[in-house]
Amino acid sequence: MRVISIASPVAEAAACGEASGEVPKLDLPLTRRRFLEGSGILMGRIAAGSALYALAPSPVWAVELKTLSKDEGAALMKMGRVLFPHAKLSDAVYALLAKDLDAKAGSDAGAAKQLREGIAALNQASGGSFVKASEKKRREVVKAMAGQPFFATVRGQCITSLYDNDMAYATFGYPGSAWEKGGYITRGFQDLKWLPAPSLAASPKPYMG
């Protein structure tokens, strides 16, 4: 079964010295790698029937961590889901959080120390393993850390890692920027399903110049 790594297609091509040779159905950050290497590798599957399943080039995803371990990355994914719980959001998106924090750890020794100590604290407060703890216990542990620098670092990174990517857009139904495609007048302007249809007077013909 083909494994898909989550990364920027442009960066992937530059790192491997060649393009993947494949065009995904949607502009998701999923591209094939020749092989994966690093400190740890996070892997999983996109759930059948989910918004991403039919759009991704493969149901299998993998994320390479260059500084943090697989267990540390998994703990960050679980913490991200506690902070911003979305039942419909694939683990593949939460893996982007671990990947982005891993990049910070790789470029900043102070950040690496903070993340490793924070993850160790998560495990200790959970009785050994934050990842294996119950959802209730994980919520209690994370809530108890509110206000700490580690908590702020992870929470702050969640904002961009979880929501500023095409996988999240597909899951939540956001069609993306319309500027490059001529705006929303003829592309989704009247797509709201949770409001009653406006009257004709409220919807004049668009001015085309």
User: Does residue 202 fall inside a structural domain?
Assistant: no
Concatenated DSSP letters for the chain?
---EEES-HHHHHHHHTS--S---SS--SEE--S---SSEEEEEEPPTTSTTTTTSS-SEEEEEESSS-HHHHHHHHHHHHHHS--TTS-HHHHHHHHHHHHHHHHH-HHHHHHHHHHHHHHHHHTTS-TTTS-HHHHHHHHHHTTTSHHHHHHHHHHHHHHHSSHHHHHHHT-----GGGT-STTTTTT--SSSPPPPGGGSPPPP--
Please indicate, yes or no, if residue 29 is contained in any of the structural domains. Answer: yes
State the average pLDDT for the chain. 79
Residue 161 pLDDT? 94
Is 208 a domain residue?
no
Establish if 74 belongs to a structural domain.
yes
pLDDT digits (tens, 9 = 90+) for 104-136: 999 999 999 999 999 999 999 999 999 999 999
Q: Is residue 186 part of a domain?
A: no
Domain of residue 95: give its range: 4-175
Q: What is the pTM of this model?
A: 0.74
Q: Which of 105-109, 137-141, 166-170, 196-200 has the lowest mean pLDDT?
A: 196-200
What's the structural domain count of the chain? 1
- State the average pLDDT over residues 165-180: 79
Q: Is residue 18 in some structural domain?
A: yes
Mean pLDDT of the 201-205 span = 72
pLDDT in tens, 188-200: 666 666 677 777 7
